[in-house]
Amino acid sequence: MSNDDILTRIFGVTRHFMHPAERPDQAARGRGWVDAWGRPTEDGRDLIDAMQDQESTRGVYRLLG
């Protein structure tokens, strides 16, 4: 999966956790999922891998919330 694909998914997940006044890239950076240059971190990649491994993304949302 490309970095762009991973970032799209990270930002999609981030929208569930962010404050409405935040931008998705800022919120993802604050959670350590994206680095200062806008690239997915290892934690960000692990997040997406965990979501792909889940039969239901609902379990991941409960885990991270």
What pLDDT, in 10s, does the model give residues 13-24? 999 988 889 999
pTM for this prediction: 0.77
> Which sequence spans correspond to the domains of the chain?
3-64
Whether pLDDT at 62 is above 80: no
Residue whose structure tokens are 């680095």:
35
Cβ burial 35-53 (10 Å sphere, 16+ → b, else e): eeeeebbeebeebbeebee
Interval 41-59 mean pLDDT: 81
- Average per-residue pLDDT for the chain: 86
User: Residue 51 — very low, low, confident or very high, per pLDDT cuts 50/70/90?
Assistant: confident
Tell me the percentage of the chain whose pLDDT exceeds 70.
82
Residues 6 or more apart whose CB falls under 8 angstroms from that of 9 comprise 48, 51
